[in-house]
Every structure is written in structure tokens, then in C-alpha cells.
Chains A and B, each alone.
Chain A
Amino acid sequence: MQRVHDRGGWPDVGPIDKSEHDYSMWEKRTDALMRLLISDEKQIMTMDEVRRAIECIKPGAYEKLKYYERWIVAIETLMIEKEILAHQEIDHKVKALERQMAGSPRPSACSRREKQYGGEIQTRG
């Protein structure tokens, strides 16, 4: 069974894009959040669980998501799986941010989430 994250021998792809880019603030925050969650101090999740949660993302969604977006999806999946947060709590918070950011020149958190995750979050592999 071919898996979307196993890129060795992947058909019909060209060379890897090795261009450098600056990280945006949300990407840095995602990195920091993940490191905190797996830290010895917090031990809320492990790198093994994060890797599994990323690799369980359905292929269509996986290909659309950027690197740190997959991390966010994995963190969300695990927080729900471990019953630390509920779907409803997260949705409620996103809607609250949406209202707060309404009228802001930046894209809203909710519409970006809907567009890029497409609701395809799998809670168990």
C-alpha cells in the first residue's frame, strides 16, 4: 500500500525544490508549540505520535498542506485524541478569532483553516 509520505520512487515527480525561505511567525509558533508539547516538562505527546498523526492525514489533504500546516493538523488530532481539547472547543475558539479579526486586512483564521484543511482530519490511524 503506497503511502503519501513515502516519497522514494514516487511516480511522476520532478526534482525536490530546495529553495530556502523565511519562516513566518505562525510557523515559528507551531514549531515552538510542538517542542513544548513533546518536552520532558510537559510530555503531552511524543515525536512518534506526531509523526503517526502526520502520516495518517488523508493523501488529498496531505498534498495540499504545507509542512507546518501538517504539524498543526497533527497537534490538533492528538489533542482531540487525548481528550485534552474537544472539536467543539477548537471550533468555538476559531469562530471567536474570526469575529475578532473581522475587518482585519489579513485572511481570517477560520476561512484559511477551512480552505486548507478541507475538514479532512483523521483522528485515528
Chain B
Amino acid sequence: MEAKFRPGDSVRVRVDSSPRHMRTPTYIQGKVGTVKVVHGVFCDPESLAYAGDGLPKQFLYLVCFNQAHVWQVGDELSRDKLYIDIYQHWLESA
């Protein structure tokens, strides 16, 4: 099983408005960041949350975002970063 993304890749977080349980916060959905670390492969927690088997396993990435981009505020936050762990099925190339 091979990771779809590598450190340095630019990725966009998918948007999902359904009411189901999800492990990716709303505030990061639709945002573009950079992959920093490939943590490895794990059972899907969104499946485990409903007593599912967690399969197929998903790669988990540490993704870095500019805070000014995430919160859409001005220059005072322009150097601050937000690091967040996101599962592969939430990411697409950007």
C-alpha cells in the first residue's frame, strides 16, 4: 500500500457538509496546505466511530496551513502556521 502524497505536496481538504461524524474539522475543509509528514497507515476512525471495521486503512498526514489563509484575517497572523493531522481520503492534490 503506497501513500498518495509525499512531504512537500500541496493538498486541498475536501468539503463535506453531511451531518455524519467526521475527524476533519469544518474550519480546515476547503483549505489548501502542504504535507509535512507521512505518519503511516491506520484504521479509518470515522468507520470505527460506528463500530465499523475501520477498513480500508488510510494514510495519515501532518499538513501545514498558513493561519491567514485558514482564518482569512490580515497580516498580523501571516507568519503563523496551523499543523493538523488529516486522513488521506480527505485530501486531494492542489
Residues on A with C-beta less than 8 A from B70 are 9
- How many A-B pairs have beta carbons closer than 8 Å: the answer is 37
Interface stretch among A26-34, A50-58, A86-94?
Answer: A50-58
What 1/0 flags go to B17-35 for Cβ under 8 Å of A?
1111100011110000000
Q: How far is the CA of A56 from the CA of B48 in the complex (A)?
A: 15
Q: Which A residues between 1 and 38 are near B, CB-CB below 8 angstroms?
A: 1-3, 6, 8-9
- With CB as the reference atom, state the residue of chain B lying closest to A50: B49
Residues on B with C-beta less than 8 A from A49 are 48-51
Closest Cβ–Cβ distance, residue A53 to chain B (whole Å): 9
Q: How far is the CA of A23 from the CA of B18 in the complex (A)?
A: 36
The answer to the question of A83 belonging to the interface, with a C-beta cut-off of 8 Å to chain B, is no
Please determine whether B50 and A9 come into contact, CB atoms closer than 8 angstroms: no
Q: Which of B21, B26, B51, B71 contacts A125 (CB 8 A)?
A: B21
Please determine whether A51 and B49 come into contact, CB atoms closer than 8 angstroms: yes
Q: Which B residues between 18 and 76 are near A, CB-CB below 8 angstroms?
A: 18-21, 25-28, 45, 48-51, 70-71
- With CB as the reference atom, state the residue of chain A lying closest to B43: A48
Please determine whether A56 and B27 come into contact, CB atoms closer than 8 angstroms: no
The answer to the question of A123 belonging to the interface, with a C-beta cut-off of 8 Å to chain B, is no
Q: Which of A2, A9, A56 contacts B21 (CB 8 A)?
A: A56
Please determine whether B45 and A48 come into contact, CB atoms closer than 8 angstroms: yes
Residues on A with C-beta less than 8 A from B25 are 3, 6, 8
Q: How far is the CA of A1 from the CA of B70 in the complex (A)?
A: 16
6 further contact pairs, Cβ within 8 A, besides A6-B25, A8-B28, A125-B20: A3-B25, A8-B25, A9-B70, A9-B71, A46-B51, A48-B49
Closest Cβ–Cβ distance, residue B59 to chain A (whole Å): 18
Closest Cβ–Cβ distance, residue B61 to chain A (whole Å): 18
12 contacts between A and B (CB under 8 A): A1-B17, A3-B25, A3-B26, A6-B25, A6-B26, A9-B27, A9-B70, A49-B48, A49-B49, A52-B50, A125-B19, A125-B50
- With CB as the reference atom, state the residue of chain B lying closest to A56: B21
